[in-house]
Amino acid sequence: MDRKQLVLGIDIGGTNTKFGLIDKEGNDYLMGSIPTNADQPAVNLFFRLFEEYDRLKKDLKFDFDLMGIGIGAPNANYYKKTIENPPNLNWGYVEVETIIRKFFPQPIALTNDANAAALGEMYYGAAKGMKDFIVITLGTGLGSGIVVNGNLVYGHDGFAGEIGHTVYDPEGRLCGCGKKGCLETYASAPGIKRTVLELLAKNNYPSRFREISFEELDAKMITDAALEGDKIALEAFDFTAKVLGTKLADAVAHTSPEAIILFGGLANAGDLLLVPTKRYMEEHLFHVFRNKVKLLKSELNEGKSAVLGAAALIWNEILKN
Amino acid sequence: MDRKQLVLGIDIGGTNTKFGLIDKEGNDYLMGSIPTNADQPAVNLFFRLFEEYDRLKKDLKFDFDLMGIGIGAPNANYYKKTIENPPNLNWGYVEVETIIRKFFPQPIALTNDANAAALGEMYYGAAKGMKDFIVITLGTGLGSGIVVNGNLVYGHDGFAGEIGHTVYDPEGRLCGCGKKGCLETYASAPGIKRTVLELLAKNNYPSRFREISFEELDAKMITDAALEGDKIALEAFDFTAKVLGTKLADAVAHTSPEAIILFGGLANAGDLLLVPTKRYMEEHLFHVFRNKVKLLKSELNEGKSAVLGAAALIWNEILKN
């Protein structure tokens, strides 16, 4: 039998860091997870991660070639192989390549989680066979990965694809980034919670949400309420879709993708979000783009998607050469 | 002496069609112009154009190899080599390749005028040596050409780069495309005229523009008035810069360019437009992009720029292979 060729995919999150050994077809042969411990230095995380990886590897019943290490992380710089002042992680500027070189000689590649998700969709998910598409991740924030002619767009500085920080309303909601009215203050899990609050203030009809604090509220509750016909929840989805659809039409005008793929927590609302978002997007599209651009839900297994995407970063470089 | 290698660059405009023989370095050896006669079929234009080309060619004192024909035209489709329902031209759907093949066997390439301008800047102008940049043409409309990693972004359907039809204000000015509040209804020659009218309506102080009709008014008058300190004209530039700067910040968030290059009539206002546009752009940029993106004026000779860009389309394909 041929010796297996596998890539170690690592997804660094604010709370947990997941990793796995992934083959070219997206099959996983080992999956692990450790706490990120964001208050400790980054080197500590990698040390614990590789220790756990070595421990789990002992159970594998076959030998393999490790082809490389792909990493998805917030504020990762593809060109410099660094992580730069990641939000929610107390790390500052991390030279990831220098750290990894102490453990592994294999090629490494890193990018932000949304870009990794885009490569994951291209190799293993809803964007298979596509050369021009955009992945939008709807979670705590709104991330985006833009693929043009089969390649991720990194831009001059490696940080391209920040559609979450395009402006919906210059006088709008305050964003974590310090600006006002960024798309992600509307279209994200916290964004739809803020919309529910606004709607409760604007209207005066009864709602289950009048008894729930902002901290207690989550996107899943809003989805469940909408599915049961709750008026505030339905209006919240409609408004979220309006903002998202308007800005997706702008994104289409830039790179004219074949499809836009929604990924992450809020995308699990499915048609509740997809159907009105598509309608608002079409309404705002320049006529040459109308009825051409698919709006799809991610086809990656959510538990593994980020690790698949991180691994795809290496597979992409191997398969392109 | 080596035999010269030249490309025939053609720029099809609403009123005139210009053409020229251009070498790899951007030198021109023959330049001509004929009326487009937009009410007559496209085949008529090409017939007259090639007749005039043959006539002018007789004066050349040297032999050369024609390497190809590059065409910049409104609504040109790069992939299909067609022009599709161009605004201001009564042509419908034109199979350009079929027409040209009756006259020439050489390679042909076509794209819209803004994309051609972007290639022109990359080979011969302000974007020399850059791999990631955006060209914005400010004329009757607002066109854009986006270059990522050294390649023009065509997108899935060949029509990418329509930043002029991203939305500034969903309830805003009616656009020629049928939508409301498109960027080009503010940032273009007619856009700044509309702004002057709004400012005349909003304010009541005297202005030279109170004696000029909308039809009489042009962007050059507004520039001249602003340079002389006219309050309405200065406010009009400030508002135009605000709208343009806000939307350019959005564009940066998509592809993270090294520079944005302004081209065409309104860009001739120079610092009057560039300085405030840069300030508003910086104000709306996501922090990772701040103080990184240059805002430049085109460095192409305006009379020849469109023909240079059209020729660059062929040189780009030759030099890439």
Q: Are residues B190 and B269 in the same domain?
A: yes
Closest CA to B196 of B229, B132, B240: B240
Query: Are A142 and A216 in a shared domain?
Result: yes
Six-digit token string for B220: 């050059």
pLDDT tier for residue A126 given thresholds of 50, 70 and 90: very high
DSSP state of B300: S
- C-alpha B312/C-alpha B22 separation (Å) is 9
- Do B144 and B250 fall into the same domain? yes
Find the closest chain B residue to A77 by CA distance: B288
Per the structure block, which two tokens stand in for A222? Answer: 């809003």
Two structure tokens written together for A40: 């400790």
Q: Is residue A125 part of a domain?
A: no
Q: Do A131 and B257 touch (CB under 8 A)?
A: no
Read off the tokens for B105.
Answer: 């066997």
Helix (H, G, I), strand (E, B) or coil at A174: strand
Q: Are strands A142-148 and A133-138 parallel, antiparallel or unpaired?
A: antiparallel
Average pLDDT, chain A: 94
For residue A188, how many C-alpha atoms fall within 13 Å in the half-sphere facing its CB?
A: 22
How many angstroms separate the CA atoms of B181 and B200, rounded?
A: 20
DSSP symbol at A294? E
**A194 shares its domain with A48:** no
- Which of A84-93, A122-131, A207-216, A309-318 is the least confident region? A84-93
Strand partners, A119: none
Question: Is B178 inside any structural domain?
Answer: yes
Percent residues over pLDDT 70 in chain B: 99
**Cβ pair B303, B20 in contact under 8 A:** no
Contact B255 A151 (CB under 8 A): no
Interface test with A, best of B80, B163, B250 (most A CBs within 10 A): B250
Q: Are A33 and A19 in contact (CB under 8 A)?
A: yes
Q: Are B134 and B231 within one domain?
A: yes
B142 to chain A, any CB pair closer than 8 A? The answer is: no
**Chain A residues within an 8 Å CB radius of B258:** 156
Q: Tell me which residue range forms the domain holding A65.
A: 4-120+303-320
Question: What amino acid occupies position B152?
Answer: L
Side chain identity at residue B240, one-letter code: T
For residues A171-196, average pLDDT: 95
Residue B1 has pLDDT above 70, yes or no: no
- Judged by a CB distance cut-off of 8 A, whether residue B258 touches chain A is yes
Distance, in Å, from the CA atom of B201 to the CA atom of A246, rounded to the nearest integer, reads 30
Asked if A192 and A176 count as a contact pair (C-beta separation under 8 A), the reply is no
Pairing of strands B16-22, B28-35: antiparallel
Residues A292, A311: one domain? no
**Is residue B125 situated within a structural domain?**
no
Tracing tokens 């890539």 back to the chain, one arrives at: A7
Residues B293 and B262: their CA atoms lie apart, in Å, by: 13
Name the domain count of chain B: 2
When mean pLDDT is compared across A88-92, A147-151, B135-139, the lowest value belongs to: A88-92
Using a CB-CB distance cutoff of 8 angstroms, which residues of chain B are in contact with residue A290?
Answer: none
- pLDDT tens digits for A220-234? 999 999 999 999 999
Tokens read off for B143: 């066109």
- The residues near B55 (Cβ < 8 Å, ≥ 6 apart) are none
Q: What is the pLDDT of residue A264?
A: 85
Structure tokens belonging to residue B101: 């093949």
The H or E element that residue A10 is part of is strand A4-12
Of B111, B87, B93, residue with least CA distance to B38: B87
- Using the beta-carbon criterion (under 8 Å), do B149 and A146 form an inter-chain contact? no
Fill in the DSSP letter of residue A217.
-
Would B243 be classed as within a structural domain?
Answer: yes
Residue A187 is predicted with a pLDDT of 97
Quote the distance between the C-alpha of residue B160 and its chain's center: 14
Task: Tell me the pairing of strands A259-263 and A133-138.
Answer: parallel
The pair of structure tokens assigned to A85 is 């002042």
Cβ-contact B269, B145 below 8 angstroms? no
User: Is pLDDT at A65 greater than 70 in this prediction?
Assistant: yes
Could you give the strand order of the β-sheet that contains A76-77, starting from the edge strand earlier in sequence?
A76-77, A82-84, A93-95
Residue A288 touches partner B, C-beta closer than 8 Å: yes
Task: Retrieve residue A142's tokens.
Answer: 């709104």
Residue A292, chain B, CB below 8 Å: the answer is yes
Mean pLDDT value of segment B176-205: 95
Q: For A245, name the nearest residue in chain B, comparing CA atoms only.
A: B167
Distance CA A259, CA A248 (A): 11
According to the model, what pLDDT value does residue A225 have?
Answer: 95
Under DSSP, is residue A5 helix (H, G, I), strand (E, B) or coil? strand
Chain B residues lying within 8 Å of A166, measured CB to CB: 249-250, 253-254
User: Pairing state of beta strands B16-22 and B4-12?
Assistant: antiparallel
CA A137 to chain centroid, in Å, comes to 4
The DSSP-derived string for B42-77 is HHHHHHHHHHHHHHHHTT-SS-EEEEEEEEE-TTEE
- The verdict on A255 and A280 lying in the same domain is yes
- Identify whether the C-beta of residue B138 lies closer than 8 Å to the C-beta of residue B267: yes
Q: Which helix (H) or strand (E) holds A309?
A: helix A305-320
Residues within 8 A of A (CB atoms), B 148-177 only = 148-149, 151, 153-163, 165-167, 170, 177
- Kindly state whether residues B218 and B156 are assigned to the same domain: yes
pLDDT at B199 over 90: yes
Nearest 10 degrees: Cα torsion A205, A209, A215, A219: -110
Question: How are strands ordered across the β-sheet holding A142-148?
Answer: A151-152, A142-148, A133-138, A259-263, A294-297
- Chosen for mutation from A252, A254, A255, A282 (greatest number of chain B CBs closer than 10 Å) is A254
Answer yes or no: do B246 and A167 touch at CB < 8 A: yes
Could you tell me how far CA B56 lies from the centroid of its own chain?
A: 27
User: Whole-angstrom Cα distance, residue B222 to residue B218?
Assistant: 7
What CATH number is attached to the domain comprising A235?
3.30.420.40
Distance CA B91, CA B186 (A): 28
Stretch 44-103 of chain A: residues touching chain B, C-beta under 8 Å: 75
Res B146 pLDDT > 80: yes
What is the C-alpha to C-alpha distance for residues B148 and B131, in angstroms, rounded to an integer?
6
Is residue B282 less than 8 Å (CB to CB) from chain A? no
Residues B237, B140 share a domain:
yes
- For chain A, the distance separating the N- and C-terminal CA atoms, rounded to the nearest angstrom, is 25
For residues A60 and A84, membership in a common domain is answered with: yes
Give burial (CB, 10 Å; 0-12/13-18/19+) of B222.
buried
Mutate to test the interface with A, among B186, B288, B292 (most CBs of A within 10 A): B288
Question: From the CA of B176, how many Å to the nearest CA of chain A?
Answer: 11
The minimum CA-CA distance between B104 and chain A, rounded to whole Å, is 30
The pLDDT value given to residue B265: 82
pTM of the predicted model as reported, rounded to 2 decimal places: 0.92
Q: Which residues of A touch B134 (CB under 8 A)?
A: none
| Residues of chain A with C-beta less than 8 angstroms from the C-beta of B287 | 177-178
Q: Tell me, yes or no, whether A281 and A311 share the same domain.
A: no
Instruction: Give B36→chain A minimum CA distance, Å.
Output: 24
Cα–Cα dist B1/A109, whole Å: 49
Mean pLDDT of B76-95: 89
Q: Are B165 and B184 in contact (CB under 8 A)?
A: yes
CB-based contact A256:A289 (threshold 8 Å): yes
> Is the same domain home to A292 and A307?
no
Beta pairing, strands B64-72 & B4-12: parallel
Of B146, B157, B254, Cβ closest to residue A163? B254
The per-residue pLDDT for range A264-283, each reduced to its tens digit, is 888 888 899 999 999 999 99
CA distance A72 to chain B (A): 18
Give the pLDDT band (50/70/90) at residue A1.
Answer: low
Q: How high is the mean pLDDT of chain B?
A: 94
**pLDDT tens digits, residue range A6-24?**
999 999 988 899 999 999 9
Distance CA A51, CA A256 (A): 44
**Do B297 and B270 form a contact (C-beta atoms < 8 A)?**
yes
Decide if pLDDT at A160 tops 70.
yes
Residues in A closer than 8 angstroms to B151, CB to CB, are: 148-149
3-class DSSP state for residue B167?
Answer: strand
User: Which of A182, A254, A288 is closest, CB to CB, to B163?
Assistant: A254
The whole-angstrom separation of Cα A159 and Cα A86 is 13
- A290 near B CB under 8 A: no
In this predicted model, which residue has the larger pLDDT, B226 or A38? B226
Closest CB from A75, A148, A249 relative to B153: A148
| Strand pairing class (B133-138; A108-111) | unpaired
pLDDT per residue over A29-45, tens digit each? 999 999 999 889 999 99
Give residue-wise pLDDT tens across range B251-292.
Answer: 999 999 999 999 988 888 889 999 999 999 999 999 999 999
Task: Supply φ then ψ for residue A131, to 5 degrees.
Answer: -110, -20
pLDDT at residue A14, rounded to an integer? 83
* Region B130-150 average pLDDT: 95
